[in-house]
Structure 1
Amino acid sequence: MRLTNLLFTTLLLFVSVFARSQKSNEFTVLQWNVWQEGTMVPGGYDAIVNEIVRLKPDFVTFSEVRNYNKTNFTARVCASLKEKGLSYYSFYSYDTGLLSKHPITDSLTVFPEKDDHGSIYRLTSSVNGHKVAVYTSHLDYLDCAYYNARGYDGSTWKEIPLPASVEEILKVNVASQRDDAIRLFITQAEKDLAAGYKVIIGGDFNEPSYRDWIEKNKDMYDHNGFVVPWTVTTLLEEAGFVDSYRKIYPNPLTHPGFTYPSDNP
């Protein structure tokens, strides 16, 4: 699979892309929303470490690694992996992180974290002489229009009236600043591509893919009859990026994207 422009649509537990035998210009990526460092689930942290050991990806992009334990999460993971014979370099921020088998040559704050409106960071590395720019992100979770479309308040899980229209849903979406963050990413990514980098963005976008909320499944899952042109994935696709989840699972009826886990095999 060519990974020049690859978008990881998360809000799933994780998405991974790998090949049985790698060529010199191929690399593997694991994107994982670990939800409070994996520590809210018994055995969660160990499961994260063991899965990385199993897959041995070139890069791991993390989201929701908030420092509840007052530790540097990615450094802690690196130490655990070293005990199992694997060496990784790491990057850590307030809510995201990166592991890389290859030295991290540069870092850049693309969209700074402020008032919980999310963040995007750019890290660069080299795989067999090929330059790679990996972006790790966690976008705004406060103004989550997809919760409104389901009739729930995302922070308290309190039932609320369903919105009357798609326009009403997207009006909530504008306040999130997710589109602003992605536009800044696209601007920087275009510079990377022009400079010969392969570009990856991984993270929790806190927004479904527009490919998931379509006419065919508007009455399925928790869509409540809505067909929503979710904006983050629309912007990314218009910029030439590929939704890796939809690449692997093209059918949104049998493999929906961001739904409650019980709806997704």
Structure 2
Amino acid sequence: MTWWVLLVLVPLFPVSSSEHNGIRVMTFNIWQSGANVENGQQKIAKHILMINPDIVALQEVYANVTRNLTMMLGHPWVAVERNHSDYPDTAILTRHVVIPATNLSTSGGVGVKIMLRTGYTVGFWSLHLDYSSYGPYAANNKLVDRIEQIMAGENLGRGPQINEILNEMLLKKWLAAVDDVPIFVAGDFNGPSHLDWTERTKKIHGDWVVRWPATKELEEQGFVDTYREIYPNVVSDPGITWSTVNKLNPEWNYTIPEPQDRIDFLFYKGPVVPYQILTYSGCEKPQRIPFHHANDYPSDHFAVFADYTFI
């Protein structure tokens, strides 16, 4: 499939909420920029067009990939990348107007203000937190017997990264005006939610209740986890985003189950109300690793998108 075909795709979700006093946002880990499936970058663009969002948070972005994607998506799509030329890793795509001199870059992500063509302005962050010392691996390791062992990786990587973002002076200015201009924090946190690892669910999480710091710190700053606001029942609506294709861990020759969890999030704060949120992996069931190369959906994460109304 060529990018000329992509430009004439009919969206699977054709009604953009920005046309109805609202906004549709998406987070999409693009799995090494589509390198793991055939024609991966074309498929990334295809699925963005299928969802038809106003703003997309991208993770695992290689150099020059956003240039290719905006060409395939067509006018008026533009990109903002984290300030790292060799491996930006995180980026934001939008078909609206990026406000100059509002870019923020940290070790964990990139943020910018965007003016929608309807006149509304939002602050938007794309995050990709540290992948090392993945907490659920420790929690499901039968040799771990103290919560401090699970939290060690969080306190080295993901916890400090979320605090770095929250302590950015420009973000603090955004927060001071959040009653008028909402802020979205979206991305792959490489860690679960404290709202999901509770007494009620600990039997499926290695018998642990864990205060995962990245989501907890955002909650303490007044940000709302969109998925859990709409689907508060963790048992009936787990919202798993990891993984579409990684079900048995390849590091153990596919003999050990890969923990399945919700690690991709859409948080918001300010004058918007969410009314729909979905996880997404295309219309064709992705084939598991190691049979994934011909998959139509190019990622090992579910994408997540949500619609909000401005109030």
Common fold by TM > 0.5: yes
Aligned residues: 224
CA RMSD of aligned residues (A): 2.6
How far residue 207 of structure 1 moved from its aligned partner, in angstroms, is 1.0
Q: Is the 8 A contact 2:57 2:90 kept in 1?
A: yes
| Counterpart in the other structure of 2:137 | 147
How far residue 184 of structure 1 moved from its aligned partner, in angstroms, is 3.2
| Counterpart in the other structure of 1:124 | 113
Q: Is the 8 A contact 2:96 2:114 kept in 1?
A: yes
Q: Give the direction of change, closer, same or farther, for the CA distance of 1:91–1:20 in structure 2 (3 Å limit).
A: closer
1:95-110 correspondence runs (5 A): 95-106=89-100, 107-110=102-105
How far residue 99 of structure 1 moved from its aligned partner, in angstroms, is 0.6
Matched AA of 1:170: M
Matched AA of 1:227: V
Structure 1: distance between partners of 2:67 and 2:81: 8
Q: Is the 8 A contact 2:16 2:24 kept in 1?
A: no
| Counterpart in the other structure of 1:164 | 145
| Counterpart in the other structure of 1:179 | 159
Q: Give the direction of change, closer, same or farther, for the CA distance of 1:199–1:78 in structure 2 (3 Å limit).
A: same
1:25-174 correspondence runs (5 A): 25-65=21-61, 67=62, 71-82=63-74, 86-93=75-82, 94-106=88-100, 107-111=102-106, 113=107, 119-127=108-116, 128-151=118-141, 161-174=142-155
**Residue 193 of structure 1 is aligned with which of 175, 192, 197?**
175
Percent of residue pairs identical = 31
How far residue 80 of structure 1 moved from its aligned partner, in angstroms, is 0.8
Structure 2: distance between partners of 1:123 and 1:199: 10
- The TM-score normalised by the length of structure 1 is 0.75
Unaligned stretches of 5+ residues in structure 2: 1-12, 83-87, 248-259, 262-278, 280-311
Matched residue SS, 1:29 = strand
Structure 2: distance between partners of 1:21 and 1:38: 27
Does residue 219 of structure 2 align to residue 231 of structure 1?
A: no
Structure 1: distance between partners of 2:19 and 2:124: 19
Q: Give the direction of change, closer, same or farther, for the CA distance of 1:150–1:46 in structure 2 (3 Å limit).
A: farther
How far residue 201 of structure 1 moved from its aligned partner, in angstroms, is 0.9
| Counterpart in the other structure of 1:209 | 193
Q: Give the direction of change, closer, same or farther, for the CA distance of 1:19–1:251 in structure 2 (3 Å limit).
A: farther
How far residue 22 of structure 1 moved from its aligned partner, in angstroms, is 4.3
How far residue 228 of structure 1 moved from its aligned partner, in angstroms, is 0.7
Structure 1: distance between partners of 2:15 and 2:218: 24
Matched AA of 2:66: T
Matched AA of 2:149: E
Matched residue SS, 1:28 = strand
How far residue 185 of structure 1 moved from its aligned partner, in angstroms, is 2.5
Matched AA of 1:164: D
How far residue 180 of structure 1 moved from its aligned partner, in angstroms, is 2.3
Q: Give the direction of change, closer, same or farther, for the CA distance of 1:64–1:191 in structure 2 (3 Å limit).
A: same
